[in-house]
A and B are shown apart, each in its own frame.
Chain A
Amino acid sequence: MTEFRQNGDVFRYATAGAHLIVSSDQTVPEILQMTKILLIEDDSETAEELVAELTQRGFEVEHAASGIEGLDKARFIKPDLMIVDRMLPGMDGLTIVEALRHDQIRTPVLILSALGAVDDRVRGLRMGGDDYLTKPFAIVELVARIEALLRRPIETRETMLRVGPLELDLIERTARRGEREIELLPREFRLLEYMMQRNEQLLTRAMLLEEVWNYKFVPDTNLVDVHMGRLRHKVDTPGDPPMIHNVRGAGFILRAPS
C-alpha cells in the first residue's frame, strides 16, 4: 500500500474559527471549474477560510452571512450548489433548504453543523439527495462531497458499467478487466459498482461507509482500507497499471489507466 501513499499532495493547515481544517492543494476537475457555490455561514472567520479555499480550487464562491441574505442570494444568483451552516443567528439552516424546496428550487445543498445526525430532519435531507457534514471537518472531505453533489451519477438504464478496461455487468453480476474475469464477493461487487459510477471522483472513507455500507458511525475507519485492499488486490493485479488510487489522507479514486 505504501506505493500509493507516496503520490500524496501538498498538505497545509488552515484554521477557520474553532475548526481545524486540513486541506490538500488540489484543484477540481475542469468540468467543475467556475461552478457557482453559495456559502451561507455567519461566522466570518470560517467563511473567509472556506471562500479562499474553494476559490483557490476553482469554484466561484458567493458568501451570505445570514439566513435572510442567503435566501435572497439563492433566489437571485441561482447557484449550482449551496453550503449552509445549520446554526445561523435566529434560524436553522434546514429552514432555508425547506423554503427553497417549497419554491421548487432543487439546488443541491450541503449542510454544515456542529450537531451530529441523529435528527430525523437530517435523515430526510440525505434521502432527498442532499448531504450533511459535521463540524469539524477536513477540507478534502468537504470538497469531495461538493464534487459528489455536483456530479450526481446520471440515472441510466445501462446494465453494463465501463471504466477503461474494467467492465461490470449489473445483470450477470460479473466483472472483468480486459480479458480477465474477476471473481468478486457481493460486498466487493457493490463497492466496485459504486466506484465505477463515480470514476475520476475522490471518494472519502466516510462517504464510502455511508453510501456503500450505509453506516454513518463506525468505530474504526480503517475498515474501508481493508475492504479496498481486497478489492484492489483483485482489480489491479501485478503488471496491470493501477486503477484504484489511494489519495493520501483523503480517500480513493478509481481512474482509467492513461
Chain B
Amino acid sequence: MLNLFRGECYKLRKHKPFYICTLIGVCIALMLYGTLFMVDNLEQMESQETQTDFSVTVSVNEETGSTDTPESNSAGSTIPMSQQIGIVGVIEQMLSGSFVSFIMILFVCIFVIGEHSNGTVKNVVGKGYSRKTVFLSKLLATEMAALLMTLIILGGTLLFGAFFFGKSGIQSMNWEDLAAFTGMHLLFAAALTAIATLIGEITRSLAAGIPISLAVVMFSTSLTTGLDLLFQNLNLDWKPSDYWLLDLQTTALAEIVKQDFIIRGTALSLAWLLAAVLLGMLHFNKTDIK
C-alpha cells in the first residue's frame, strides 16, 4: 500500500488540475475581498450623493425651520461592508459556502475518474495488490490532496485578509474559534471527498461524475430543507438536515463554540466518511475494470 501511495503522491505532484483548482480557490478569495472593497466604495459614493441631496433638503427645511431628518442619522452611522464581514466572514464564505467544496469536488472527480478514463487503473490492478488496497491508497492520496488544497486556500484567504485589513484585521480575529472551525471543516471536507470519490468510482466517467458531484453540493441542502418541511408537515420529529454534511458545514461557524455541535459534526463526518469508503471499496472490489 505504501508503494501505491508513493505512486499516487508522485502523480499528484505532476497533476496540473491540482494546482489549477488550488489557484482558482485562492483567486476566489482575492475576488471576494475585492468585491467587499468595491461595495465599500460604492456605498461611500452613494452616501456622498445622499449627503449632497440632504444639503438640498436641509435648505428646504431651513425655510420651514426644521433641521433634523431621519436620513441624516442613518447616513452618518453606516459601517463599511468590509468591516462588517471581516477576514472571518470571508473565510466563512469560502469554507462554509460552496466555493471550496465546488473546487475540491471538481479536483477529486478529475483525479479519481481520470484513472478510469485513461485506463491507468489497469497498471495497478492485478499487480499483486488487492483491489481494496488499490482503492484505499487512491482515496488516501485524494484525501490528502483535498485537505492540502483546503489549507492552502485558507492560508491564501488569511494572507489576502492581512494585506487588505492590515494588522488590526488579523488581531481582531478569534484564533481559537478559527482553529476549531478549520478543524471541523477539514473533517467535513474529508467526508465530502470520500463521497466524491465514491461517485467518481461508481460513474467512472467525467461527463457523469462531475455534474452529479456538483449537484450534490448545489442541491442537496435544498433537498434536505424540503425533507425537513415534509417531515414537519407529517408531524414527524426528525430533521434530515441535522444529519447531512453540507447542512452542518453551512451552520458550522455560527455554532462552532457549542461543544455538542463539535461532537455531532465529528461523529457525522466520520460516519459519512466510513460509509463512503466501505461502499467505494465494495464497488471497486466487485466491478470489472474496463
Indicate, yes or no, whether A interacts with B: no
Using a CB–CB cutoff of 8 Å, the interface residues on chain A facing chain B are none
